[in-house]
Amino acid sequence: MNPLDRYEPLVDDVDAFRAACDRPLPSVVRTNEIAATPARVREAFDEAGVAYEPVDWHDGLFRLPDGNPGGNWPYVHGWTHGQEEVSVLPTLALDPRPGERVWDACAAPGSKTTQIADAMDDEGTVVANDNNLGRLSALRHNAERLGITNAIVTNQDARNFSTKPLGFDEFDRALVDAPCSCEGTCRKNPDVLDQWTLDHVHAVAGIQKGVLARAVQATRPGGVVVYSTCTFAPEENEAVLDHVLDEEDCELVEFDLPLDTDPGVTQWDGETYDESVTRAKRVYPHRNDTGGFFCAKLRVGGEETEVGA
């Protein structure tokens, strides 16, 4: 079975959705503003004759219609990083600031970690964690290549993450870009559709709940937690939010993303979710000609404490 079939009731234009899912995505790079401005990257591409197209909702992104994002000087200098367009969304929602303490719970291979460090002007502390040691080497390579100096890399199970090795015991912000079924990446890697199973959906949903709960616990009162996946499965999205809203002191908040999105769904497969999950955002491939994505922003409950205090 093609798992995309099961999501047809959720989308407004099934034909457009399916057609978009069948089209490959172009290579895209994000400017690493620790090293260069988007204007410098454009100048260097122009000088070298590298074809590029802007992305209208983010001036630091460039589509490279000829592919080969690593085959040019801006890449070698760490000015650019290959990253799918929708993958920049969770960090935009997280909105980390210089000087803060930020946790990237499932960080490898580091696209979001490095984008977070960039948004922090490389000041403050971003703790990049992943339970997979092999994938951490890719993260470290990317962080070094982009000149990130404010990251601590840890290798723990995020569900019971310990802040013991750190100089503090709670974060201002946390990102849970969770391992998932990944159907949203089918335009880059169609194999994900063949490998999809409902058993995996249920197994990974349990992990997602554990990681998101720990992220809420590890974030200070008034702090921000962003939850994101690249799956359309409500079991891994709204159901995970619904569970954590019940178990932990937190709420879903409204937020803006710079492209067209659909609200989270409150009903799926006989289950009903908390009404506030409509504040989460679904990104369908046919809306903006991107990959698929899901993103939610939570505020941790309790009285606000001072940032960095």
Q: Does 169 bind another protein (CB under 8 A)?
A: no
Tokens of 238: 């709204």
Which of residues 101, 173, 214, 243 is near another protein by CB under 8 A? 101
CB neighbours of 134 closer than 8 A, spacing ≥ 6? none
CB of 31 to another protein, least distance (A): 14
CB of 271 to another protein, least distance (A): 39
Q: Does 40 bind another protein (CB under 8 A)?
A: yes
Q: Which of 210, 125, 142 is nearest to 176 (CA)?
A: 210
230 is catalytic: yes
What is the CB neighbour count within 10 angstroms for residue 155?
12
DSSP secondary structure letter of residue 199: H
Residue 157 annotated as binding site: yes
CB of 18 to another protein, least distance (A): 39
Binding mask 46-85 for another protein (x = CB under 8 A): xxx---------------------xxxxxxxxx-------
CB of 304 to another protein, least distance (A): 21
Tokens of 242: 């619904």
Which of residues 2, 37, 155, 272 is near another protein by CB under 8 A? 155
Residue 14: φ, ψ to 5°: -60, -45
Contact segment (CB under 8 A) with another protein among 20-28, 53-61, 142-150, 291-299 equals 142-150
Of 180, 182, 186, 230, which is the active-site residue? 230
Q: Does 147 bind another protein (CB under 8 A)?
A: yes
The Cα 39–Cα 112 span in angstroms is: 22
Cα–Cα distance list, 82 to 172, 185, 258 (Å)? 27, 15, 20
Total residues interacting with another protein, rule: CB under 8 A: 43
The Cα 181–Cα 204 span in angstroms is: 8
CB of 151 to another protein, least distance (A): 7
Report yes or no: 167 and 152 within 8 Å, Cβ to Cβ: no
Residue 181 annotated as binding site: no
Q: Which of 87, 78, 107 is nearest to 27 (CA)?
A: 87
CB neighbours of 11 closer than 8 A, spacing ≥ 6? 17, 262, 284, 286
Residues of each annotated binding site: 106-112, 130, 157, 177
Q: Which residues bind another protein (CB under 8 A)?
A: 35, 40, 43-44, 46-48, 70-78, 101, 122-126, 133, 136, 140-141, 143-145, 147-155, 164-168
The set of catalytic residues is 230
